[in-house]
Amino acid sequence: MPAEVVAAGLLHDTVEDTSVTLADVRREFGDTVRLLVDGVTKLTHLPRVSRGDQHAGADETEKDEVLIQPALLGRKEDMVPETLRKTFLAMGEDVRVVLIKLADRLHNMRTLGHMPEHKRGRIAQETLDIFAPLANRLGIWQLKWELEDLSFRYVQPDKYKEIAESLAERRPDRERQLEEIKINLIRLLDKNNIKAEVSGRPKHIYSIFKKMQKKDKSFGMLYDVRAVRLIVPDVPACYAALGVIHTTWRPVPGEFDDYIAAPKDNHYQSLHTAVMYDDKRPLEIQIRTQEMHMNAEYGIAAHWRYKEGGKHDKQFEERIKDLRKMMEWRGDVNDATEFVESMQSDVFRDRVYIFTPRGDAIDLPAGSTPIDFAYTVHTDIGHRCRGARVNGKLVPLDHELKTGDQVEILTAKRGGPSRDWLNNSLGLVKTARAKSKIRIWFKKLEDEQNLATGRNTLERELQRLGIPGVNFEKLARELGYKTPDEMFIDLGTGELSISKVIKQFAEDNEIKDILEANAPAVPHKPTDAVEVVGLKGMLASMAKCCNPMPGDQIVGYITRGRGATIHRQDCPNILLTPDRERLLKVGWGHVEQTFPVPVKIKAYDRQGLMSDISNLLSDENININNVSVNVNRSIADLRLIIEVRDLTQLSRILTRIENLPNVMEAVRTKPG
């Protein structure tokens, strides 16, 4: 990197950790260094590895003081996503800031062994999930492989040690074989007037582990794979060398990739092939030019290594443009956790290449659907999308696209997107870019309409889940809104998902004291079932008449000889009981078990309806306790008792069932 970036790297902690100010940095080192140090400092106002985590001797109070700034965020667990959000936003402004951040993280990983043991796994996992993919997206192989190997060492220490020891045992044999192979290759290419540098390609422990997983093979079955790299003068020489190698040794079917003609989405270019060598064992070969090699090793940072040629600057501008285009939705996502999840799905995930009917290639994250494709082609096509043909066949809108698919979008003349597209349970839209455009469309609708739609959506969901009398004021406050109307408007625009509201409601463990029973309270101790306030250790069982589940407001009833039974507060048997003195105030503990819930499904009868419902429940690992089906004049009335963990899961299941063909409604059966 240029001197200013190296200087900023050396100074990156000074403003954060010492009395030095940005004005001091500017006076001593100039504007550029000041801006870069300021950029990295902005990324460290919130926690990162080099703050409290590194002070192994500090007590927890000191660490919390360093890590938490309540004015910025209320909860400690939200801090890491917020830091990462700042990193990604900075990437669009000045990529040099992110390169310093990656170098800082690499140094943190190299010294991770000096940190407290309970921190290592978390920091290593975060590096593997976020920072290594970020280095890959910027094309910096040097940083990517070292971050992966260092993280793997702490995330799965036993596996790391096993592979490292196996590599060390076989190193002498492998090095001797590679030396012979290199000599043979140089002779062969010289004979064909091709100048080439040949080197053994380093084996990285994490990439070996990934290959073992992908191919479901042990290390012993993989170690035979030798790998060499050829650096040749120009592109014609790449293909000439490939031709010579393929005519000398038999290529392994399915192992050839041309990343020169079709570069990877991080601009990586190279020819990859594998041949059966003279000893009848496979040999992997990469062929590339010196410039391609520099780009592969240093990625976007290679730009600064070429100052003499303008064409490299043009290439650099293209890469920056691609990064900005890929993140054009970033200003529309304010929630830090959602932002990081969107980055992982849109930017870090593997890519698929889809073709329009005219043959244009569209680059999308793996797992994308026809709606994602439609929005990538044009926002208006996305809004009016009503169906899709993939390779000439009609497919549902949640169909996952594969590389090479040709997609034709079927559009309506007018109209807009459906609110269902923003429902994560349905999987109709996967990319943050498409979700952002759908939200913007709904934002343009009148607030009154959004408010009414949001209120109706929530009330219908609560009714469907059998949850009466919810305090919307309290729920809105818990979700960070000043008034319920603001919450309803965000629900109406799709800015707030119904699943997040239900999750928040289910997490609220406060039980309202609506009963007159004035039982003495005891300290809250989570159990693996249900805790009964005032009667420690009493046997408790779930009432069959109303089947309560976590998230419901519940009440206990003392039976004769069978301990206490737990009912929903709106259970008719409880509301009508004359023995009010036998009622207990109870609360949920940390429940891990499943709960039987009666569900009613109304649908137009068709062949395969029950099969579709049972397959859907099987996909969600949900057990069916009981089923009854009654068909009257082509209307099927299905009654199921299913075992679910909590309200969030029940909400998702009912939504998915309602979106099956012919299903009119799926609701939780009310008690009584």
Q: How many residues does the chain have?
A: 672
CA–chain centroid gap for 641, Å, is 32
CA–chain centroid gap for 149, Å, is 21
**How crowded is the C-beta side of 639, counted as CA atoms within 13 Å?**
6
Name residues whose C-beta falls within 8 Å of residue 522's C-beta, 6 or more positions apart in sequence.
533, 534, 536
Dump the DSSP string for 409-435.
EEE-SS----GGGG-TTTTS---HHHH
Q: Are 196 and 241 in contact (CB under 8 A)?
A: yes
CA nearest neighbour of 251 among 226, 221, 272, 229: 272
> What φ, ψ does residue 430 adopt, rounded to 5°?
-110, -30
Dump the DSSP string for 441-508.
HHHTS-HHHHHHHHHHHHHHHHHHTT--S--HHHHHHHTT-SSHHHHHHHHHHTSS-HHHHHHHHHH-
d(CA 370, CA 372): 5
User: Tokens at residue 36, please?
Assistant: 């870069």
- Catalytic residue numbers? 16-17
DSSP alpha helices (H): ranges in 508-557?
none
User: Tokens at residue 333, please?
Assistant: 């996502």
d(CA 329, CA 326): 8
CA nearest neighbour of 127 among 182, 87, 183, 76: 87
DSSP alpha helices (H): ranges in 302-446?
310-326, 336-343, 370-377, 379-383, 432-443
Indicate the SS3 state at residue 153: helix
Please give, one letter per residue, the 3-state secondary structure of 611-661. Answer: HHHHHHHHHCCCEEEEEEEEEECCEEEEEEEEEECCHHHHHHHHHHHHCCC
Q: Is the CA virtual torsion 592, 593, 598, 604 positive or negative?
A: positive
CA nearest neighbour of 569 among 556, 578, 581: 556
